[in-house]
Amino acid sequence: MTDPSTPFVTANALTISLDDAVDGASAIIRKLCGWHIWPQVTDTVQIAPQGGSLLVLPTLKLASVTSVTVNGEALDMSTVTVWEHGVIERNPDDGDSSFWRCPNYWPTFGTVSVVFVHGYDTVPPEIKAVCQSLAARWPQSASQWATRKMGSTTLETGKGLAAIQPGALTVVEQMVIDRYTLKPQP
């Protein structure tokens, strides 16, 4: 077992390679957005439905739904409508009222298992631009330092454009990230 006090990098590895910067920028973008974005992959999720006719998957680019299982029973895919932005809707009057208390609603108990394909075929251009911008800034250190006093410690921070530190996002980059970010679900 590794000692938890062991540093992630060694002192002689303080410089960052461009590959590491790109990997780090990509990982940050995916983490901020809450999903992988690209490439298309097959995922399986377990969802505790809240009732209602809509089930929201953790994606903003749904290619297809392979199967839906409700409390262990496979659902007839002709009884749902699948929306590209990651929503599965129960069709009204699907005729399966013996299984469901309300035929066009997801149950309010148990779990729904969904196997689905999602993600973009190619990296969206604006995500690629944010990744490139973030990665290009990463190996740099800010210049034009300003001094700030915090207790008995003096902290130097950048001013103006130099205040954009290697891991920080600009306002425009944040707007792009917001567009691809999953919204919180109940």
Give the dihedral sign, CA 115/24/21/173: positive
- Residue 31 binned pLDDT confidence (cut-offs 50, 70, 90): very high
Percent pLDDT > 90 in the chain is 46
Residues 128, 134, 138: CA angle, nearest 5 degrees: 140
Do 108 and 152 belong to one domain? Answer: no
pLDDT, mean of residues 50-54: 85
pLDDT, mean of residues 119-140: 90
Looking at per-residue pLDDT, the higher value among 124 and 145 belongs to 124
Is 11 a residue whose pLDDT tops 50?
A: yes
Q: What range defines the domain where residue 95 resides?
A: 41-118
Amino acid at 151: G
Residue 176 is inside which H or E element, if any? helix 171-179
- Residue 178 binned pLDDT confidence (cut-offs 50, 70, 90): very high
Tell me if 10 is assigned to some domain. Answer: no
Number of structural domains the chain divides into: 2
Q: Look at residue 57 in the predicted model and tell me its pLDDT.
A: 95
Do 51 and 111 belong to one domain? Answer: yes
